[in-house]
Structure 1
């Protein structure tokens, strides 16, 4: 009797945990495809950095770096379908501005389909994917701000995991990126926040960040030029000391040195196969008009 009661209590605790966990997690299938990506709910809260305190609103974040499998639906017209969950009009596959063909394989043989991260896209290319995803799913997705990214990376507590357990870096990667999710996640359930591929944020890079940030709630350093964005987390190219939640680099025109096009591509960074991105979906969804205005503000062509 006692053993049966103990078993029932254990089962109840397990089921309760699964329900709570499911409330913090959501799977999204891109309409007209078999591609599914998972989101983790990041509760809002206070974020302190270098003497500044910021308030972060709740948001959903990609459990993993965006996969090549998802990006290729947008990249290639032949992979897309007219099926859409957007209710604001009729989705047309032929009305989408898509990435130009790559003159070489920008994965450099490191991996594409089957769970590898989408790499080498410019920040504009990543944002254009988010824009396309809005018209496919009816939900607004974007890149994280630098504050959101670091807030989610740090999680609720400081990770006690060894860097080798959570990150692919220069010392263990074999000089290549790997499928997302092969290392341990942080305490919020996010994989590869450190290492593997560095990740785009929405912010213009500022050397004195966050001292120069004006907003105290949901700060975003709006872009003013084509280059110079903040990229977070380090990559398989970097040593462990540069694969941290505070690690940041400035994107550069040098990331397109091998691009033969004049002007340089707005879609591809030929020399940045170590940079990918991760999706964010705000809990409080903006209106269609606000979404249009966002992409007009976030995407700077020159």
Structure 2
């Protein structure tokens, strides 16, 4: 069973700064929640009159620089927790940015001599990560230093390996509400953590969404200025982390599984193991997929080592998910005890397979995440499996393996510039499939248009903007379907347009925010009409035409390029006004009228970012063409070919 520990710090009285009214009470309220409602095993409270920790000798808990720093240094000198455990750190008081570092100001901190008297948040993070817990959560209700009007508050420095939830942006103030006798952030935080059933805030994602809506609402009610909380998860997969397993839904667990599968596909073995451990905790140890996953990861690691030269196979290929060969030693000891003896025996021997598991080559790609201002806050490498179709005359079509999983399709009510057609949010489970790495290019179009006709003629060069690496445009839905038919006839594989659900699932690649880049979009990352902005995002360069596919050099978490902007992409689905009654299995949603409008996704070079969101929808008649409309193709999962 996972352990839950917390540290709560609240400082009212400052020696050298303006004192606060309710920071101490905030910390006490959090301590009461952790102990009495959430059932945490250990909670350490630091306020001006909190009791000493009963050890020999007792540890003083007054929140001075020396005492809190020594506690963090000594308490976590050796790991006391383990993977699967949770460690929360709550701070209510002053915070400030100084010389490009974020600091928490303790009761005796000196604003005139900040560096040696205040606690760097990076130090706090480093000590907490030494605890052994793989889930560290920072809850920081810290306003900017009142005495330095030019100073910024905390939040600019990204903390590694933790979830950080800030009470306001660096240029705002976190407010105390006299009528509530609490800070508006902590009041909202406790509200959120207490929600049970439908709409609970058991995950980082939903807690972030709730606070972004609720805190400004409270501030408006009590006539305070704007205060915008936000969360940063590092790595980004922690955004789906289940904070309170007792309130988690099956959908939350499925989302975590999807992240774990994606980490496997990208060959991020340690991250995949961490995520599967979190699934195990959320499922109270009852999900057999966890044990299968550790077996599969061990097998994949062996395959990866093989492809890197430890045997004669140096092709750079990996074994695809789904085979069972493994070594039991790769399953954590703490998990082996829970596996039935018969299963343990099965896992120590090589299973008999009817045929050798299929292999596919792997490619690497860059993934970028931005904050609400469009500033890069994370850049990482991903990997995905793929295969290539030879279309002749040096023209190839690259198809990327998309892992199976579940996701929330549509947009929440809180998403900026959303449309009613994106409601209701609903969970969809999608089988694995393969999707074009890029929108279909003009070179690919011309190669396939030269193949024998199946149902209708194709214009070999329909595009307004000419270039072999530019996406094809000016193609109708019927044209795109004919392209798929000719390609299927040539290859012997069934190519088609994606369903709306497949397209959105592939676009998000595990991301629940408006774009797979995060909170907003910039013209450094995508081609769209930047006369319009999204959130706090910047304006940029409006290109007024299509751009070569892949030219921005960044992909989403599945390895797909140009999912936002450049050209709209046709889907198979007919137009429906919203998602009432929509399929939940990833299939297309059709009606008995072939001439009814078909759906488009992704936005184009001529559209503002509102239409380029992952959830954004548009439609057009199936025989209509436009210089902002193209498509990309999908087929069955590569290992079934």
Report the TM-score when normalising by structure 2. 0.35
**Cα deviation digits, residues 164-201 of structure 1 (max 9, x gap):** 23310012342101111012211211111000001000
- How far off is 1:226 after superposition? 1.9
**Contact 1:166 1:186 survives alignment (8 Å):** no
1:226 to 595, 608, 631: 595
Q: Distance in 1 between matches of 2:498 and 2:432?
A: 12
Which residues in structure 2 correspond to 1:1-302 (within 5 Å)? 15=308, 19-20=317-318, 22-23=361-362, 24-49=384-409, 50-76=424-450, 80=451, 93=452, 96-101=454-459, 106-108=462-464, 110-113=465-468, 115-157=469-511, 158=513, 159-160=516-517, 162-171=521-530, 172-183=541-552, 184-208=554-578, 210-213=579-582, 215-223=583-591, 224-252=593-621, 269-270=624-625, 272-283=626-637
Higher strand fraction (1 or 2): 2
- Which piece of structure 1 moves more, 166-175 or 23-32? 23-32
- How far off is 1:241 after superposition? 2.2
- How far off is 1:25 after superposition? 2.7
- How far off is 1:71 after superposition? 1.0
- How far off is 1:284 after superposition? 7.7
- How far off is 1:14 after superposition? 11
Q: Distance in 2 between matches of 1:122 and 1:25?
A: 30
**Cα deviation digits, residues 243-299 of structure 1 (max 9, x gap):** 11111111048xxxxxxxxxxxx5xx45x0100001101128999xxxxxxxxxxxx
**Contact 1:198 1:231 survives alignment (8 Å):** yes
- How far off is 1:31 after superposition? 4.7
| Bigger RCO of structures 1 and 2 (CA < 8 A, at least 6 apart) | 1
Instruction: Give the 4+ runs in structure 1 shifted more than 6 A.
Output: 11-14, 284-287
**Contact 2:435 2:632 survives alignment (8 Å):** yes
Kindly name which structure, 1 or 2, has the bigger radius of gyration based on alpha carbons: 2
Structure 2 SS opposite 1:99: coil
- How far off is 1:41 after superposition? 0.9
**Contact 2:575 2:596 survives alignment (8 Å):** no
How many aligned residue pairs are there?
239
Q: Distance in 2 between matches of 1:283 and 1:170?
A: 34
**Using a 3 Å threshold, how does the CA distance of structure 1 residues 241 and 32 change in structure 2: closer, same or farther?**
closer
Q: Distance in 2 between matches of 1:27 and 1:281?
A: 11
**C-alpha RMSD of the superposition:** 3.0
- Structure 2 runs not aligned, ≥5 long: 1-303, 310-315, 319-359, 363-383, 410-423, 531-540
Q: Distance in 1 between matches of 2:594 and 2:486?
A: 22
Structure 2 SS opposite 1:135: helix
**Contact 1:54 1:219 survives alignment (8 Å):** no
- How far off is 1:55 after superposition? 1.1
Q: Distance in 2 between matches of 1:191 and 1:65?
A: 8
Report the TM-score when normalising by structure 1. 0.70
**Cα deviation digits, residues 188-222 of structure 1 (max 9, x gap):** 111110000010000001111x2221x32123111
Structure 2 SS opposite 1:179: coil
Structure 2 SS opposite 1:65: coil
Structure 2 SS opposite 1:130: helix
Structure 2 SS opposite 1:127: helix
- How far off is 1:240 after superposition? 1.7
